[in-house]
DNA sequence: GACAATTATATAAAGAGTTATATATTGACA
DNA sequence: TGTCAATATATAACTCTTTATATAATTGTC
C-alpha cells in the first residue's frame, strides 16, 4: 500500500497526523493526496506493525497531539520500497473519457469550450508548480545542478509535474488548432452541414 | 460515478458485460480500465435506474448472454455528462513518490536504474498508441483532418495519451542528463565523497 | 462575552475498485 | 478421452478513498 510508504517517507522528522496532512498539501499535492480520516488509522496500523512509534506531546492548541516517528524497521521497510521497481497504476481520466465520447453531441463549439476549460485547469496547476520552482531558484543558488541529493530528487518530482502539465497544454493547443481549422472549413466553402443552408435559401 | 457514464458511452451499440470488458481493453485502455466484477453490477444498477435495458440473446459459446442497450433516459444522462464541465481527479502516482523520497537511499545509481525502468515503461506504452495511430492513418485517408466528428474526438483522446507519454519520456531524458552530469562531476575533479578517497590513499 | 478560525484526534458509513472464486458451455487439440 | 482456452455471468471478500460527523481546547476578533 503506497500511502503507508509515503507516510514512512514523510516521517523522517517526527510529525502528528495533522502535521502529515499539511505536508501532503504543501509538498506532495502534485503527487498524492490523503485525508485525515485515512491518515489516522494508517498511522495506527503502522504502529501496530512496529514501523513507527509514537509519543504524546503538548498541543499548540486543541487536544493533545501524538507525534509519530520512524523506527528502524520502518526505515528498512521504506528502503525496500524505494529500492523496488517503480509502482505504476493505470490512470483513470474521466475528462478524457468525456472527450472520447463527445462526438455524440455533434456540437464542436461544446468541444471547443471543453478544451478551453481543460487548458485553464492545467495552466493554473502549472503556474503553481512554476512558482515553487521560481521560489526555489531564487532561494538556493545551487539549484538544480548542485543541490544536495535529497533535494535533487524532489526537484525531479517537481519537474515531472511541470513537464506533464506543459505537455497537456500543448496538446490542448494542438487540438484547438485542429478544431479551428475544421470549423473554418465548415463556415467557408464546401459545406454539407444542415445548419449552413439556412443562411441563403 | 464515471464508470456508469463510460458504460453509457460504450452502449451506443448493444453489448453484453463481456463485450464491454473487451471494449475497455481494445479502445479505452489508455483512459480507463474496468473489471468484469465491476461491470456486471454496474449494468444492473443502470438497468434498475432505467438508463439501459437488456434482453437475453444466444451465446456464441458458454451460457446465455444478456445484451444491454441505451434507453432514451440513458442517452439523455450521457448527454448531461458530456455537456458538463470536465471531471478532473488528482492522480496518485506512487512511482513519483518513490522518486521524491529516493534521496534517502543516497545511491544515485539506483536512481539511474529507476529512471531507466520508468522510461522503458512509458516507451512501451507510447509504442502501443503510435501503432494504433499508424494503423488508423494507413486505413483512413481522411485522418485526421477530415474524419467524421465522432472519430475526431477519439483521435483527440489518442493524441492526449501520446503527448503525455512523449513528455514523460523527455522528462526521463532530462533527468538522466542532469544525473549524468552530476555523476561525472563526482567521478572527476572536486570530490568530497567517502568512496572516492579509497582510490589513491 | 460571543463567535469564528485553527489545532488536534477519532470514527462511521458509503463509494469505488481489485482479487478470488464459482458456475456452465463450447470448440480445438492431443 | 481429457484438458485447455474462450465465452459468459455472478458474487463474496477485501482494500482503498471520500464524505460526514463528533469531540475538545485555544486564540483572535467584533
Task: Establish how many alpha carbons lie within 13 A of residue B148's alpha carbon, considering only the half-sphere containing its beta carbon.
Answer: 7
Listed as ranges, the nucleotides of chain D within 7 A of a protein C-beta are 6-13, 15-21, 23-27
- Helix, strand, coil percentages (3-state) for chain A, rounded to 5, are 65, 5, 30
- State which residue has its Cα closest to the C1' atom of D11: B37
Residue among A36, A45, A37, A35 nearest A8 (CA) = A45
Peptide bond preceding B144 in cis form (omega within 30 of 0): yes
Cβ pairs A/B, distance under 8 A: 215
Per-residue pLDDT at B116 exceeds 70: yes
* Cβ B99 vs Cβ A85: under 8 Å: no
- Rounded Cα gap, residues A103 and B152, in angstroms: 8
Contact B163/B155 with Cβ under 8 angstroms?
no
- Grade residue B12 by pLDDT with cuts at 50, 70 and 90: very high
Q: Is A28 (CB) below 7 Å from strand D?
A: no
**pLDDT at residue B175, as a whole number:** 98
Within 13 A of A118's CA, how many CA atoms are on the CB side? 31
A66 touches strand C (CB under 7 A): yes
Distance CA A155, CA B94 (A): 16
Q: Give the model confidence (pLDDT) of A57-90 as tens digits.
A: 987 777 789 999 999 999 999 999 999 999 999 9
Q: Which residues of B touch A93 (CB under 8 A)?
A: 31-32, 89
Residues of chain B found within 8 Å of residue A29, distances taken between Cβ atoms: 90
Q: How far apart are CA A60 and CA A71, in angstroms?
A: 25
Q: A62 vs chain B: nearest CA distance in angstroms?
A: 31
Which residues are bridge partners to B69 per DSSP?
B53
Which positions in chain A touch B84 (Cβ < 8 Å)? 98
Q: Is the pLDDT at A48 greater than 90, yes or no?
A: yes
Please say whether the beta carbons of B99 and A127 come within 8 A.
no
Q: Which of B81, B88, B163 sits opposite A167 (nearest CB)?
A: B163
Which cell is B9 given? 458511452
Considering only CA atoms, give the Rg of chain B.
Answer: 24
What span, in angstroms and rounded, lies between the C-alpha atoms of B51 and B49?
6
Distance (Å) of CA B64 to CA B12, B51, B69 = 21, 22, 16
B102 min Cα distance to partner chain A (Å): 6
Please state, as a whole number, how many other Cβ atoms lie within 10 Å of the Cβ of residue B117.
Answer: 14
Instruction: Report if CB B17 to strand D is under 7 Å.
Output: yes
Looking at chain B from residue 34 to 73, which residues have their Cβ under 8 Å from any Cβ of chain A? Answer: none
Task: Give A 78-117 residues with CB within 8 A of chain B.
Answer: 78-79, 81-106, 108, 110-111, 114, 117
B61: confidence class by pLDDT, cuts 50, 70, 90: confident
Across the range A90-118, mean pLDDT stands at 97
Is B61 (CB) below 7 Å from strand D? Answer: yes
Where in chain A is CATH 1.10.10.10?
2-83
| Cβ distance of A28 and B91 shorter than 8 Å | no
Q: What is the dihedral angle through the alpha carbons of B82, A32, B165, B107, rounded to the nearest 10 degrees? A: 180
Interchain proximity A152–B32, CB inside 8 Å: no
CA of B61 to C1' of C30 (A): 22
- Least Cα distance to B86 among A161, A120, A128, A164 occurs for A120
Residues of chain A in contact with residue B182, where contact means CB-CB under 8 angstroms, are 145, 152
Q: Mean pLDDT throughout B98-109?
A: 97
Long-range CB contacts (within 8 A, 24+) of B17-24: B17/B43, B17/B66, B17/B68, B18/B65, B20/B68
Residue A162, SS3 per DSSP: helix
Contacts 24+ apart (CB under 8 A), A108-111: A108/A179, A108/A182, A108/A183, A108/B149, A110/B82, A110/B83, A111/A179, A111/B153
Query: What is the number of other CB atoms lying within 10 angstroms of the CB of residue B71?
Result: 18
Q: Which CATH architecture has domain A2-83?
A: Orthogonal Bundle (1.10)
Helical ranges in A11-93 per DSSP H: 17-27, 36-48, 72-83
Helices of type H across chain B: 2-10, 17-27, 36-48, 72-83, 94-101, 108-139, 149-187
Beta bridge partners of B52: B70
* Residue of B122, B115, B183, B167 lying closest to A156 (CA atoms): B115
A34 to chain B, minimum CA–CA distance in Å?
A: 10
Q: Separation of CA B182 and C1' C12 in angstroms? A: 51
Please indicate whether residue B48 or residue A143 has the higher confidence score (pLDDT): B48
- Which chain A positions have a beta carbon within 8 Å of B29's beta carbon? 90
Residues of chain A with Cβ-Cβ distance to B156 below 8 Å are: 99-100, 175, 178
Percent of chain B with pLDDT over 70: 93
B1 and chain A in contact, CB less than 8 A:
no
DSSP secondary structure letter of residue A82 = H
Distance separating alpha carbons of residues B147 and B153, to the nearest angstrom: 9
Top pLDDT among B140 and A191 is at: B140
Closest residue on chain B to A6 (Cα): B97
The pLDDT tens digits for B89-98 are 999 999 999 9
pLDDT at A27: 96
Say what the pLDDT of residue A189 is.
60
Amino acid at each position: 500500500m503506497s500511502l503507508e510508504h509515503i507516510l514512512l517517507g514523510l516521517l523522517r522528522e517526527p510529525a502528528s497526523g495533522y502535521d502529515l496532512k499539511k505536508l501532503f498539501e504543501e509538498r506532495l499535492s502534485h503527487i498524492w493526496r490523503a485525508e485525515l480520516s485515512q491518515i489516522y488509522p494508517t498511522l495506527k496500523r503502522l504502529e501496530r506493525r512496529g514501523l513507527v512509534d509514537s509519543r504524546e506531546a503538548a498541543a499548540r492548541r486543541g487536544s493533545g497531539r501524538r507525534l509519530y516517528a520512524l523506527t528502524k524497521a520502518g526505515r528498512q521497510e521504506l528502503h525496500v520500497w524505494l529500492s523496488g521497481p517503480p509502482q505504476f497504476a493505470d490512470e483513470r481520466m474521466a475528462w478524457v473519457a468525456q472527450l472520447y465520447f463527445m462526438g455524440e453531441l455533434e456540437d464542436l463549439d461544446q468541444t471547443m469550450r471543453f478544451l478551453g476549460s481543460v487548458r485553464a485547469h492545467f495552466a493554473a496547476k502549472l503556474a503553481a508548480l512554476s512558482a515553487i520552482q521560481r521560489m526555489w531558484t531564487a532561494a538556493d543558488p545551487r539549484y538544480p545542478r548542485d543541490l544536495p541529493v535529497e533535494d535533487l530528487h524532489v526537484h525531479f518530482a517537481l519537474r515531472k509535474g511541470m513537464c506533464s502539465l506543459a505537455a497537456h497544454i500543448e496538446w490542448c493547443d494542438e487540438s484547438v488548432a485542429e478544431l479551428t481549422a475544421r470549423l473554418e472549413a465548415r463556415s467557408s466553402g464546401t459545406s454539407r452541414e444542415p445548419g449552413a443552408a439556412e443562411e441563403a435559401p
